[in-house]
Amino acid sequence: MSDRRITRFFAEFEPPEGTRAELLRGEIVLAVSPDLVHNAIVETVQDQIPRRGWRRLQTQRVAIPDEPSEPQPDLVVIERGAGPDGGRLMPAEAVTLLVEAVSTNSVHRDYSVKRSIYAAAKVPGYLIIDPIMAQCVLFTEPTGMGEDADYRCRRITKFGDLTQLEPIGTELDTSEFATYENVTPHRRP
């Protein structure tokens, strides 16, 4: 199926109840709705990003230029006044920071696939909050194109430490972040 056809199909696709769907490099990926630990982390992050200068959008799909991808990060952060006022997609060039809270089944997607997609789209900051490893990973300085794209800089902080969010000029207090119980650790980032 061509990129245009898959994108058109995805625009009309209705995921089953209790799931969410993303288009990642031409593949439709379904995931179960996140759990309470995940949602509480996203809410805490949203509450700490100053509303005065930033829009903090949940369940917002992002349009990625030059590829069939429409990811739906856990949080999209754009400057007030940037981006469109309507539509179903936020252009990646309007985005300052994307936030993903890792779920038990999203480790590879968040650390590899989405990281590459966001870097290729030149999103200035990508924050992964990982309740499996009790850490935050901030990626900045996107470089490269397509599947070879990545971020030049990576900073890891442990839950409980302040996490500097340079792209938006604030810091994140992670002391309230919970972790998943009885989950096997991974070796990312």
Q: What pLDDT shows up at residue 6?
A: 86
Q: Copy the structure tokens of residue 34.
A: 């996140």
Which DSSP string corresponds to 149-180?
Answer: -EEEEEEEEETTSEEEEGGGTEEEE-TT----
- Alpha-carbon torsion (55, 20, 124, 126), positive or negative: positive
- Alpha-carbon torsion (128, 7, 18, 31), positive or negative: negative
Q: What number of other Cβ atoms are within 10 A of residue 63's Cβ?
A: 18
Q: What pLDDT shows up at residue 1?
A: 62
Which residues, 6+ apart, have CB-to-CB distance to 175 below 8 Å?
159, 160
Phi, psi (deg, nearest 5) at residue 16 = -60, 150
Residue ranges of domains in the chain, CATH in brackets: 34-173 (3.90.1570.10)
Q: What's the pTM value of the predicted model, to 2 decimals?
A: 0.95
Q: Show the low-confidence residues of the chain (pLDDT under 50).
A: none
